[in-house]
């Protein structure tokens, strides 16, 4: 970090209020030791889906032959990242035509849709990515795609067509970030997953660095 750099947090707060996919395991923190109960330190444990808040999916989340999160190249989640705002109806997938005329300037692209405005309140009609868009971005040299919603596919999609296109092209995913306070442009992304063996995802503290 230099004196001219600013850290912009794009991660929602993880708490018991945080919304998760219906049927998934909600976040819970349990205190084992507590100063209020006379203990000499605070000690707690947590439980919940590994797809909490800002998180990276591993290939074994969407493909039976996919690798776990510990095998992913960390360079995928670190480096230049472009924020692109799209304005399309709620529930629709983002298509290549929706970013027509926008120059792709980084290897990591995050879409600002505004379609999942409150991380603590679930709504199904969020925007997602289309397989065509994923392929278009891959041809532009993009290695990571993501957006400010819980998934790159629609919430009711069982075929996971965008996830599978990402698997086919060996790209990385970053979901659940908060971009309402971020302007379009190029930043440095840091969103490193935890080193959890065979895990299908990892929560991250995703941040953007601005010069």
Model confidence at 124: pLDDT above 80: yes
Q: Does the annotation count 61 as an active-site position? A: yes
Model confidence at 173: pLDDT above 80: yes
Per-residue pLDDT at 161: 98
Asked whether 6 and 210 are in contact (CB, 8 A), the reply is yes
Name residue, tokens 């392929």.
135
Model confidence at 106: pLDDT above 70: yes
Packing angle, helices 161-168 and 131-139, rounded to 10 = 20
DSSP letters spanning the chain = --TT-EEEE--PPPSTT----TTSPPPEEEEEE-GGGT-SS-EEEEE--S--SSEEE-GGGT-TTPPPGGGS-GGGGEEEEEEEE----TTPEE-GGGGTTPPP-SSEEEEE--SS--TTS--S---EE-HHHHHHHHHTT--EEEESSS-SS-TT-SS-HHHHHHHHTT-EEEES---TT--SEEEEEE-PPP--TT-SEEE---EEEE-
Q: If we measure between CA atoms, which residue out of 84, 46, 47, 65 comes closest to residue 167?
A: 65
Residues 183, 124: Cα–Cα separation, whole Å = 25
As a whole number, the mean pLDDT across the chain is: 97
Asked whether 150 and 126 are in contact (CB, 8 A), the reply is yes
The per-residue pLDDT for range 5-49, each reduced to its tens digit, is: 999 999 999 999 999 999 999 999 999 999 999 999 999 999 999
Per-residue pLDDT at 4: 81
CB atoms within 10 A of CB 50: 20
Q: For the chain, list the domains and their CATH numbers.
A: 6-11+50-210 (3.50.30.50)
Banded pLDDT at 91 (limits 50, 70, 90): very high
pLDDT mean over 92-114:
98
Catalytic residue (one of 61, 63, 163, 181): 61
Per-residue pLDDT at 70: 98
């Amino acid at each position: 970090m230099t004196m001219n750099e600013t850290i912009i947090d794009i991660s929602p707060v993880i708490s018991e209020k945080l919304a998760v996919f219906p049927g998934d395991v909600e976040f819970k923190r349990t205190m084992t030791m507590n100063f209020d109960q006379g203990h000499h330190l605070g000690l707690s444990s947590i439980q919940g889906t590994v797809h909490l808040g800002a998180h990276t999916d591993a290939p074994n989340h969407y493909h039976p032959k996919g690798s776990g999160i510990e095998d992913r190249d960390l360079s995928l989640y670190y480096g230049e990242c472009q924020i692109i705002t799209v304005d399309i109806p709620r529930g629709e997938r983002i298509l290549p035509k929706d970013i027509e005329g926008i120059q792709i300037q980084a290897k990591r692209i995050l879409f600002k849709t505004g379609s999942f405005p409150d991380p603590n309140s679930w709504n199904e009609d969020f925007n997602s990515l289309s397989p065509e868009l994923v392929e278009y971005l891959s041809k532009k040299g993009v290695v990571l795609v993501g957006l400010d919603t819980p998934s790159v596919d629609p919430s009711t999609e069982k075929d996971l067509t965008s996830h599978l296109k990402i698997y086919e092209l060996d790209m990385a995913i970053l979901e659940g970030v908060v971009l309402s306070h971020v302007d379009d442009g190029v930043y440095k992304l840091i969103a490193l997953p935890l080193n959890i063996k065979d895990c299908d995802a990892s929560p991250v503290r995703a941040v953007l660095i601005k010069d």
